[in-house]
Amino acid sequence: MEVSANNEGKMCVVSVLEARIDAAVALAFKDAMRQSTDGGEADVVLDLGQVTFIDSSGLGAIVATMKFLAPDRKLILAGLTPAVDKVFKLTRMDTVFSVFNTLEQALAKQSS
């Protein structure tokens, strides 16, 4: 599962570089998120701008990542494409996470 992690100001930005977070890669996604955020202290912005499909397994992997970072670090979501946004809204997970339309908006909000 390809992700890239960068520090942007006080935040750690992890971008998913694949189009799908589904059952086939849910475990690999969890591992990649753990590895790319382990040992840091910054809140994490998960950039989903390139993800066009997520299923309930992918959603569960994002929830697992949120738990891994809690309680000291927040997981913030950015760049949800329409199909991904739909899954978050239907399951009401959009009420659990801070969700931003774009990565820029997420970073601007966090630095203000």
Partner 1 sequence: MITFEVCVDSGELAVREALGLVLANLETLSLDVEELATVELVLAEALNNVVEHAYPVTKPGNSIKIHCSQKVTGLHFAITDQGYSMPNGQTPLGLPQNVEVDPFDMPEGGFGWFLIKDLAKDVTYRRVENTNQLALRIAVAIH
Comparison of 20 and 42: residue with beta carbon closer to partner 1: 20
Between 8 and 96, name the residue whose CB sits nearer to partner 1. 96
Structure-token pair, residue 17: 């570089």
Nearer to partner 1, 36 or 57 (CB): 57
- What's the CA gap between 44 and 33, in Å, rounded? 10
At 100, list the tokens.
């931003």
User: Where on the phi/psi map is residue 7: left (φ > 0), alpha (ψ -120 to 50), or beta?
Assistant: beta
Query: Given the rule CB under 8 A, which residues bind partner 1?
Result: 20, 22-24, 53, 55-57, 59-61, 63-64, 66-67, 70-71, 82-83, 86-87, 90-93, 95-96
> Tokens representing 99?
């969700």
Pick the closest to residue 50 from 7, 20, 26, 27 (CA basis): 20
Sign of the CA dihedral with 86 first, then 92, 97, and 98 last: positive
Smallest separation, CB 38 to partner 1 (Å):
18
When the beta carbons of 8 and 63 are compared against partner 1, the nearer one is 63
The minimum distance between CB 55 and partner 1, in angstroms, equals: 5
The least distance separating partner 1 from the CB of residue 36, rounded to whole angstroms, comes to 19
